[in-house]
Structure 1
Amino acid sequence: MEFIKIILTSVGSIIALFFSTKIIGNKQMSELSMFDYINGITIGSIAAEMATSLDGKFYYPLTAIVIYTVIMWFISYLTEKNIKLRRFFTGRSIVLMQSGKIYQKNFKTSKIDINDFLVQCRINGFFTLDDVDTAILEQNGKISFLPKVQARPANVQDMNIAAKQEKLSFTVVLDGHIMEENLKLSGNNKKWLENELQKQKIGNVKDVFIALCDGNNTLSVYKKTDDSPKNDPFQ
């Protein structure tokens, strides 16, 4: 009898986890931020307790999963609407190295050892720091690398091409909000941004989902849209 009960509660916990993940979102199945990681192991622990509950009170952990899912959904909703809350819960990118300069303070802040950093460099194909122009620790704990121009896969030095070093693109508008610090770092101001948006026939910054300014001072704009493709291009 207890064996059958374990089977039924296990199936019930899987169903509860499935709907919980559908409500919270698919980030649990992709690269995890620290907040997503905590979320995942907590709900998983509750589901395991539900699966092995033999005292007849399986609805206690089930109720906990429902409550936890609602809270996570609400926090996810808030982080979509508020950039400051998004940074608080999911963190922000940290520049570890740029233009040949290593920022030791940012290494300490992100709790990354220099040896771990070198391992990540080698994993990404950089066996010398001389080939790395910029390294950024992303919110999900992964390190993104921007190689120096001579270290790119298509080696431009071998082709005798005078190439210009690429620079990072700045996110100047995010979810309808002007990122004033990034706009200033890009060497521009709100007037420039408004003019560039008007050139692309966008009269209100609230209509912009994301806008990026590259090293050539070119603004790439992606508008908000309610359209979404219905087909799965990979199946």
Structure 2
Amino acid sequence: MLISFVRTAILYLLVIIVMRIMGKRQIGELQPFELVIAIMISDLASVAMQNTGVPLVNGIIPILTLLVAQLLFSYIGLKSAKTRAIISGRPTVLIENGKLKEQALKKEMFTINELLEQLRIKNISNISDVEFAILETNGQLSVIPKSQKRPLNPEDLNIQTEYEGLPLDLIVDGNVNTANLKTANLDEKWLSDELKKFGVENIKDVLFASLDSSGNLYFQVKEKKGEDN
């Protein structure tokens, strides 16, 4: 029992580290060769977990070999566009200027019903409203509407807008993020003084606080025990 627990824990940590090294992309964003490697790694790990008669190293070495192969393919793809096209393929245009490309659909074995479904997911109901629909190498569909069908934005109306950066998280569950305070050229004394202006005496009582790019502080205090939601 103990041996199985230790083997499972080691392999679990190894797979987590390997997948972390491979990158942060979700399953739906993986290239075909990346998906194959991810599936093979999971299979190798599960076999080594279940079969305690197999030395643990026999499960670790193939996983590390696949990691090296994935990193090698990724590196080669960065350096050579031709190799990247061979490994990952090329994007395919399925709709151009509001017209279906029949041969491209057949080549990718992509049915019109599937295409219409993907368009509806992107809030597009009419093929004629699409300038380009491109099937990316990871299987996702990118849709570029015609200029007349795109939502208005401030630039279209010649409206000048102010810069909006990402808010900085200053407090999460009562814990101060000193790194973000330093980024904003502030300190805990400033934060404490600002909270006191709103009647918050203890930083530990704050559930969440953030600072936007305009210098506005947002915060929410924790609910007291027994307080109704």
Fold-level similarity (TM above 0.5): yes
Alpha-carbon contact 2:7-2:56 (below 8 Å) kept: yes
Which protein shows a greater Rg? 2
Give the Cα separation in 2 of the matches to 1:5 and 1:113.
50
Counterpart AA for 1:66? L
TM-score with structure 2 setting the length: 0.63
Contact 2:94 / 2:132 at 8 angstroms: preserved in 1?
A: yes
Structure 1 runs, 4 residues or longer, greater than 4 Å off = none
CA distance in 1, matches of 2:27, 2:109: 25
Q: Whole-Å Cα distance in 2 between the matches of residues 25 and 100 of structure 1?
A: 36
State the TM-score, normalizing by the size of structure 1. Answer: 0.61
| 3-state SS in 2 of match to 1:26 | coil
User: Which region of structure 1 is more displaced relative to structure 2, 31-40 or 20-29?
Assistant: 20-29
The answer for unaligned runs of 5 or more in structure 1 is 162-230
Structure 1 residue 116 corresponds to structure 2 residue 143: no
Counterpart of 2:132? 134
In structure 2, how many angstroms separate the alpha carbons of the residues matched to 1:29 and 1:102? Answer: 28
For structure 2, the residue ranges without an aligned partner over 5 or more in a row are 158-179, 184-229
How far apart in 1 are the matches of 2:54 and 2:107?
A: 47
Which of 73, 86, 89 is residue 88 of structure 1 equivalent to?
Answer: 86
Deviates more, 1:11-20 or 1:132-141: 11-20
In 2, distance between residues paired with 1:89 and 1:52?
Answer: 33
Are the aligned partners of 1:79 and 1:86 in contact in 2 as well (CA < 8 Å)?
yes
What do the CA deviations read for 1:106-165 (whole angstroms, capped 9, x no partner)? 11111111100000011100111122121111111111111122222239xxx9x9xxxx
Match of 2:16 in 1: 18
Matched, 1:60 2:77: no
What percentage of aligned pairs have identical amino acids?
29
Cα distance in 1 between the residues matched to 2:67 and 2:97: 43
Superposition CA RMSD, Å: 2.7
> Deviation of residue 30 (structure 1)?
6.7
Correspondence for 2:44: 46
Change (3 A) 1:37 1:56: closer
Tell me, yes or no, if the aligned pair for 1:46 and 1:61 is still in contact at 8 Å: yes
Residue type of the alignment partner of 1:117: L
